[in-house]
Structure 1
Amino acid sequence: MLHSLYEFWTAAVGNTPLEWVAVLTGFACVWLAARESLWNFPIAIFSCALYILVYYGAGLYSDSLLQVMFILLSVYGWYEWLYGGRSKTELPVSRTRRWEWVVCGVFIAAFTTGFGYYLEHHTDATLPHWDSFTTAGSLAAQFLLMRKRLENWWLWILVDVLYVPILWYKELYPTSGLYALYLGLAVYGYLQWRKSMEKEQAAPALQQTTIS
């Protein structure tokens, strides 16, 4: 009994110090993204580099690979947020285009089916299809986030709801708790970005009224 309690406590406070550093920096980068801060990108790159090791050690190979993609997307997103607007200006928050939804939907379905099959039959990965689905959903959400599409937070909410039990099952308790916090941050991010978008859209009309 005491041994079981000790094992649970050891896992609950973190399998390694590395996981806790990844957890704290991961939380920081999502909070900064919700606040539209450019600092979310360098911190995200650092956190993802740590999670490559954390997820690989837990047998979540798809999620380990996902971190590599996040690093590449974060570099591109950093540039887009700075110069992706009109005339190389800062990128504003906007709604997702129809073609972007189609691309994201097709990508998620294809990746989940194809990579899930590969993981199931050629590796010792656990939960191969769920792992692949959350990976694909995260990549789609990150793609929308780097374009500052408001609805990226919808996908993050879906992904976070799934990650919490998956990571708990894999005994990554601090990271599971982190994704529970991510869920709250995703809701907060959506509300903040919607407010920012509405303010941006109202600015030209207000300026025109003032001039008139």
Structure 2
Amino acid sequence: MTPLEIAASAVTTISILLAGRNSIHTWWTGIIGCVLFGLLFWQAKLYADVALQVFFVLASTFGWWQWLYGNKGNSLPITRAGVRTIAKIAPIGVLVAGAYGAMLFHYTDAYAPYLDSSILVFSVIAQWLLMQRKLESWWFWLLVNTVAVPLFASRELYLTAFLYACYWVNACIAYRHWRSLSASDLKSDYEVSIASK
């Protein structure tokens, strides 16, 4: 366990907990955590995860703006992506993860290239859904964390593996919290529309 791993884990944990609580501060704390994790994964030769951290920095910048102004200049509400959307993006994720894993396998010295690429691709999908405040983003975070825990442990990143196990629990809690917020938002919208008639 290095000071870099401790710092990256601490800052990212704060960011993830804030996301679960539906807080706008998840984004700037996430940017700092991603930079630190990018450096850590570079040292561990987990190159797909390095690329993922670069994506997260860019996505977090956009997500920050989206949550503040993505609803015609207003704050973006929690909504659902829907079964049709998930049914389209999940198979695409599997194909892209396989292709990127094959590239890492043939052209780099990456450790566990297919698992590493799966974490990258499905994290991108989860982040894309999170940026749009979609409830289903937490389903994908559960999948990512399930794969990430044993992979990071196998690289002796024990603190990171432990934290990803905690993130798995957080994703379960966050899903329930967001679902309740989404239901109350839908109920209040319904009540407003009834009252305006």
- TM-score category (smaller protein): over 0.9
Alpha-carbon contact 1:141-1:155 (below 8 Å) kept: yes
Q: TM-score, normalised by structure 2?
A: 0.94
1:153-184 deviation digits (Å, cap 9, x = unpaired):
00101110111111000100000011011001
Aligned to 2:8: 22
2:65 to 49, 56, 79: 79
Give the superposition deviation at 1:207: 3.4
Matches within 5 A, 1:54-65: 54-65=40-51
Note the residue ranges of structure 1 that are not aligned, 5 or more in a row: 1-13
Give the superposition deviation at 1:104: 2.5
Aligned to 1:136: 121
1:200 aligns with 2:185: yes
Q: TM-score, normalised by structure 1?
A: 0.88
Alpha-carbon contact 1:80-1:91 (below 8 Å) kept: yes
1:172 to 157, 166, 169: 157
1:179-209 deviation digits (Å, cap 9, x = unpaired):
0110011011101100110110000333355
Give the superposition deviation at 1:59: 1.2
Aligned to 1:150: 135
Identical counterparts, % of pairs:
35
Alpha-carbon contact 1:22-1:51 (below 8 Å) kept: yes
C-alpha distance in 1 between matches for 2:189 and 2:138: 26
1:68 to 40, 44, 54: 54
Aligned to 1:92: 77
| Higher Rg | 1
Alpha-carbon contact 1:107-1:136 (below 8 Å) kept: no
Aligned to 2:167: 182
Return 56-65 or 201-210, whichever deviates more: 201-210
1:114 aligns with 2:99: yes
What count of residue pairs does the alignment treat as equivalent? 197
Note the residue ranges of structure 2 that are not aligned, 5 or more in a row: none
Give the superposition deviation at 1:110: 2.9
C-alpha distance in 2 between matches for 1:18 and 1:35: 26
Aligned to 2:37: 51
Return 57-66 or 105-114, whichever deviates more: 105-114
Matches within 5 A, 1:37-48: 37-48=23-34
C-alpha distance in 2 between matches for 1:93 and 1:44: 19
Question: Which amino acid in 2 is paired with 1:54?
Answer: L
1:32 aligns with 2:32: no
Question: Which amino acid in 2 is paired with 1:187?
Answer: C
Alpha-carbon contact 1:77-1:146 (below 8 Å) kept: yes
C-alpha distance in 2 between matches for 1:35 and 1:73: 19
C-alpha distance in 2 between matches for 1:109 and 1:198: 31
Q: In the superposition, relative to structure 1, how do residues 211 and 115 fare at CA in structure 2: closer, same or farther (>3 Å)?
A: closer
Question: Which amino acid in 1 is paired with 2:65?
Answer: Y
